[in-house]
Amino acid sequence: MASINRHDDSRDQNGFGLSKDKPVLEVIGLTTQFRTQDGIVHAVNGVSFELREGEFLGVVGESGSGKSVSMMSLLKLIPMPPGEIVAGEVKFGGQDLLRISPSELRHVRGGEIGFIFQDPMTSLNPVIRIGKQITESLDLHTDLSKKESEARALELMELVGLPDAAQRLKSYPHELSGGMRQRIMIAMALACSPGMLIADEPTTALDVTIQAQIIELVKDLRQKLGTALIWITHDLGVVAGLADRVLVMYGGQIVEESPVKELYANPQHPYTQGLLESLPRADQKGEELNSIEGQPPSMYSAPTSCSFAPRCPFVFDRCREELPVLRLVAPDRKTACFYDMNNGEPFRD
Partner 1 sequence: MTDTATELESLDTDREVLLSVKGLKKHFPIMKGVFRKQVGAVRAVDGVDFVIYKGETLGLVGESGSGKSTTGRVILQLDNATEGSVTFDGIELTQISSKDMRKLRRRMQMIFQDPHACLNPRMTVASIIGEPLVENSDMSKAERRSRIEELLQSVGLDPTHANRYPHEFSGGQRQRIGIARAIALHPEFIVCDEPIAALDVSIQAQVVNLLKKLQKELDLTYFFISHDLSMVRHIADRVAVMYLGHIVELAPVDVVYDDPKHPYTQALNSAVPVPDPLIEETRQRVILEGDVPSPANPPPGCVFSTRCPIATERCSSEVPEWRSLGNEHWVACHFAE
Residues forming the site for partner 1 (CB under 8 A): 62-63, 177-180, 207-213, 215-216, 234-238, 240-241, 260-261, 264-265, 274-276, 278-280, 282, 285-286, 288-293, 295-296
The nearest distance, CB 125 to partner 1, in angstroms, is 22
The nearest distance, CB 220 to partner 1, in angstroms, is 11
Nearer to partner 1, 207 or 332 (CB): 207
Answer whether 154's CB lies under 8 Å from 169's CB: yes
DSSP 3-state assignment of 192? coil
The nearest distance, CB 217 to partner 1, in angstroms, is 10
Could you say which DSSP state residue 217 is in? H
- Distance, in Å, from the CA atom of 230 to the CA atom of 245, rounded to the nearest integer, reads 10
Q: How far apart are the first and last CA of the chain?
A: 54
In 3D space, the residue among 47, 88, 65 whose CA is nearest the CA of residue 299 turns out to be 65
- Distance, in Å, from the CA atom of 85 to the CA atom of 64, rounded to the nearest integer, reads 17
Nearer to partner 1, 145 or 167 (CB): 167
- Distance, in Å, from the CA atom of 346 to the CA atom of 337, rounded to the nearest integer, reads 9
Nearer to partner 1, 93 or 294 (CB): 294
Nearer to partner 1, 95 or 213 (CB): 213
Answer whether 70's CB lies under 8 Å from 249's CB: yes
Q: Which amino acid is at 104?
A: E
The nearest distance, CB 206 to partner 1, in angstroms, is 9
Nearer to partner 1, 38 or 143 (CB): 38
The nearest distance, CB 286 to partner 1, in angstroms, is 8
DSSP string of 102-150? HHHHHHHBTTTEEEE-S-HHHHS-TTS-HHHHHHHHHHHH----HHHHH
Nearer to partner 1, 67 or 76 (CB): 67
Nearer to partner 1, 65 or 135 (CB): 65
Nearer to partner 1, 159 or 236 (CB): 236
DSSP 3-state assignment of 286? coil
For residue 323, give Cα distances in angstroms to 139, 145, 326, 336. 48, 55, 10, 9
For residue 154, give Cα distances in angstroms to 45, 113, 136, 299, 303. 42, 21, 14, 45, 49
The nearest distance, CB 200 to partner 1, in angstroms, is 17
The nearest distance, CB 315 to partner 1, in angstroms, is 16
The nearest distance, CB 341 to partner 1, in angstroms, is 18
